[in-house]
Structure 1
């Protein structure tokens, strides 16, 4: 069996460092030690630029140096992504390019000036043809997406051994298996092996947050450490696998607009991103209005003396998790939380309004007042919703 296990390392740029410390202690160091103890282990990861920045700022030199060594030795493959985890399909093209280039700048600083990944991870695996074309234009070669992007919600499943190509962008595409990824992958693999349901040369593709391995799922019996020692199991990077199957004729396919949380019903209804932009969710709709207001000022006031701080706050306020935490969706069945946190929403809200506040030009007065109105309205909605509906659900 071949196992392609993709890991997404991410913490919001504006989160308190103790949250990053918990992820480091419970998940990131565990995974790094796993690679060090098993020289033949191979995986592809995304480690968001904003997380690398926070680790640099906190002086986590030991972790970064050991990660750099594993990347240099090609035991870990790192993909490109959006530096501050923006939800790319809902952002204007210039912002998409900014986020990707910001990430590239950080990766070059950490992994070397000539570092250029071939693969790309879309935050939340949120695919749209327009974003895929930008990714291709910026020099990337492949994407990893959820299997629903292949099927559009039908019963069709991708062939893991087939070299698919996105007809819209020309990018090669590989699809994660949702059922195995939404569980604890080592448990799923052991189940296949024990029940002898493994076909010869079977390929399993999983993709999860790296925090699953310790922070969200404690794994007291060390199933991850056990599975990597199974002789019948071979682990590869995604680029190595794509090279292996490149001898086959590429198959062009339509890739559906989707995310790794999209349901068949949402895709059928033409609402693949509803978890982040639900028109019935007043908090989300007003957050997006504030985000659009803040974004509209960028080009006009690029020479403003406080533009750096405008950009600094905007990067953080546009993180996809700001909108995710306002969805109030229950993820407890897939090792996730109840997606409601007034603190996380307010942190993103604060950065969005501060981006507008930061601009020095007196001509921004009208936009500043509009931003303050959104800020007050959203804050009121958040806390009213919290105390009336949600606070007992997240205790």
Structure 2
């Protein structure tokens, strides 16, 4: 079994220096130092060029030098990407090529010949067939795609082969496993003792797997998880390969279409043809204005003399303004930030506002779009529409699990949580045990309607349900579980038991 473990490093182009310093101290510096000390295991790393420049600008050359050393000794493989983390499937081909070119230029400047990417990491692992063709034309041999693109469902993609689009047989698609990635991204396992059973079950019967998460997970988002990473590198070194090594070893290749998707696309949205709902939802007027603004800026910049200093300055504003963050934070499904909304709109405004060759009409149009986006954002926040949008996106979240599921199945879920809680406590992972305990309490009280990530979704990430002994047939019930069960009538219990026995027969 071969496994590619991918880390994605990125900070927005307008990130505050203090925040960059904090993340360097919590994550980048100790992580690079820890990887340099490690003697086993391989990783693939994507670092956006805008972050590379920020690290150099603020004097964190030890991080850049450490990454270069790791790549030269073969412990790390760099992946290609877009310099400013642009959402590539929605951009014209020329802009895709430009973002890739800018990323290659800055990373080659700082990493030298250690930067030789063969695989492409599209920001947000955003995928479309058109984008795949552009990436292949830029000289890449493969790119990552989320597993949901296989058929619009999760955990359906076979892991005994890689994939290629029809008529692009020489360009490999490497599917990312969500569940394998979330073991680390959500920090469900805080020790190798806990992690190994999950990994062994996940690897069983499979030949090729890839996981990809934000590099900032280790030490910044999830303090202490870097220790799990180092232990994993030692324990599973024989399985870990770079993405290009995985592609070279995987001779089995299936040609098939993949659906447009991202690494966070909801499966139902993918099947319904709205794969980019967090960046361009058809029912989101702010998204429509953002993309109108983007097209205006691209159209006007294309009319200007590229040799003029004013055009070069405007072009830099536009490059930065194409970062995916302000579209994502405008989704309100559930993520929302007026600050990020304004930053992105201001980049696009400044692209056109000061160039002497941009017409007055276009400048007025740009100012109107900026003002309207900000006004709409304040209106949404002031009126509570942000919360309403979130509820409209997933109306089932407004109904507690205890109401929308049969009592006997709710009790089975309680048993699953109780099992995970006890296992975590046995492994001395008390923080994790408390998380599962509190999840049960919130479910029983109906407070799960306030969860950003639903507790049962977290549970699904670490186990296949049902895994615990059936509520319907077990003779002895744990005391903690009994305290949080819903009442089940004798007739219902007997009926469900008969169904279960019939199903087994």
What is the TM-score when the length of structure 2 is the normalising length? 0.71
Task: Pick from 238, 245, 248 the counterpart of residue 243 of structure 2.
Answer: 238
Pick the aligned partner of 1:366 from 340, 346, 361.
361
Q: After superposition, where does 1:184-203 map in structure 2 within 5 Å? A: 184=184, 187=188, 191=194, 193-194=196-197, 197=201, 199=204, 203=208
Q: Find the counterpart in structure 1 of residue 373 from structure 2.
A: 378
Q: Partner residue of 1:295?
A: 298
Corresponding residue of 2:229? 224
Superposed CA RMSD in Å reads: 2.4
User: 5+ unaligned residues in a row in structure 2: which ranges?
Assistant: 388-449, 452-505
* Mapped partners of 1:374, 1:221: distance in 2: 44
Correspondence for 2:394: none
- 2:65 aligns with 65
2:85 alignment counterpart:
85
Answer yes or no: is 1:350 the counterpart of 2:353: no
Instruction: Say which is worse superposed, 1-10 or 369-378, in terms of deviation.
Output: 1-10
- Cα deviation 1:305-324 (Å, max 9, x = unaligned): 40111111111111011100
Structure 2 residue 325 is matched with structure 1 residue 321? yes
Q: Per the alignment, in what secondary structure is the counterpart of residue 112 of structure 1?
A: helix
CA distance in 1, matches of 2:328, 2:206: 38
Aligned counterpart, 2:444 = none
Shift of 1:66: 1.2
Give the structure 2 partner of residue 267 of structure 1: 270
Query: How far, CA to CA, are the matches of 2:86 and 2:152 in structure 1?
Result: 23
Q: More displaced, 282-291 or 221-230?
A: 221-230
2:164–2:254 CA contact under 8 A, matched in 1 = yes
SS at match of 1:5: strand
5 Å-filtered alignment, 1:154-169, equals 156-159=156-159, 161-167=160-166, 169=168
Q: 236-245 or 182-191, which moves further after superposition? A: 182-191
Matches within 5 A, 1:1-395: 2-112=2-112, 115-153=115-153, 156-159=156-159, 161-167=160-166, 169-170=168-169, 171-184=171-184, 187=188, 191=194, 193-194=196-197, 197=201, 199=204, 203-219=208-224, 222-230=227-235, 234-245=239-250, 248-303=251-306, 304-330=308-334, 339-361=335-357, 363-389=358-384
Paired residues of 1:129 and 1:257 also in contact (CA < 8 A): yes
Q: Does the CA contact (< 8 Å) of 1:12 and 1:84 recur in 2?
A: yes
Shift of 1:199: 2.9
Contact 1:3–1:204 under 8 Å retained in 2: yes
| 8 Å Cα contact 1:86/1:123 also seen in 2 | yes
CA distance in 1, matches of 2:300, 2:237: 56
Cα pair 2:166 2:257 within 8 Å, conserved: yes
Q: What is the aligned length?
A: 381
**Structure 2 CA distance for partners of 1:206 and 1:316, relative to 1, 3 Å:** same
Q: Would the aligned equivalents of 2:41 and 2:237 in 1 still touch at CA under 8 Å?
A: no
Aligned-pair CA distance for 1:329: 2.5
TM-score normalised by structure 1 residue count: 0.89
Partner of 1:229: helix, strand, or coil?
helix
How far off is 1:352 after superposition? 0.7
Any stretches of 5+ residues in structure 1 without a counterpart?
Answer: 331-338
Kept in 1, the 8 Å contact 2:317–2:347? The answer is: yes
Greater fraction of residues in helix: 2
Q: Aligned in 2, Cα 1:139/1:190: closer, same or farther, shift over 3 Å?
A: farther
Distance 1:65 1:305, change over 3 A: closer
What SS does structure 1 have at the residue aligned with 2:219? coil
State the alpha-carbon separation in 2 of the partners of residues 126 and 220 from structure 1.
26
Structure with higher Rg: it is 2
Q: For 1:140-196, what per-residue CA distance to the aligned partner results, in whole angstroms no more than 9, with x for missing partners?
A: 00011110122233762231x413222254420111111222342675675463376
Q: Which moved more, 1:209-218 or 1:79-88?
A: 209-218
Q: Kindly state the Cα deviation for residue 72 of structure 1 after the two structures are TM-superposed.
A: 1.6
| More RCO (CA 8 Å, sep 6+) | 1
1:144 match: secondary structure: strand
State the alpha-carbon separation in 2 of the partners of residues 144 and 100 from structure 1: 15
SS at match of 2:116: coil
| Aligned equivalent of 1:336 | none
Mapped partners of 1:79, 1:241: distance in 2:
13
The Cα offsets for residues 40-71 of structure 1, whole Å up to 9 and x where unpaired, read as 22100100011111111112111111111111
Paired with 2:257 and 2:197, the residues of 1 have a C-alpha distance of 36
Q: Which moved more, 1:70-79 or 1:177-186?
A: 177-186
2:150 aligned counterpart, secondary structure:
helix
Separation in 2 of the partners of 1:103 and 1:252? 29
Asked if the contact 1:76/1:237 (under 8 Å) is kept, the reply is: yes
Q: For residues 61 and 118 of structure 1, what CA distance do their matches in structure 2 show?
A: 25
**Deviations 1:224-254 (CA, angstroms, capped at 9, x unpaired):** 2332332676322111122222xx3432121
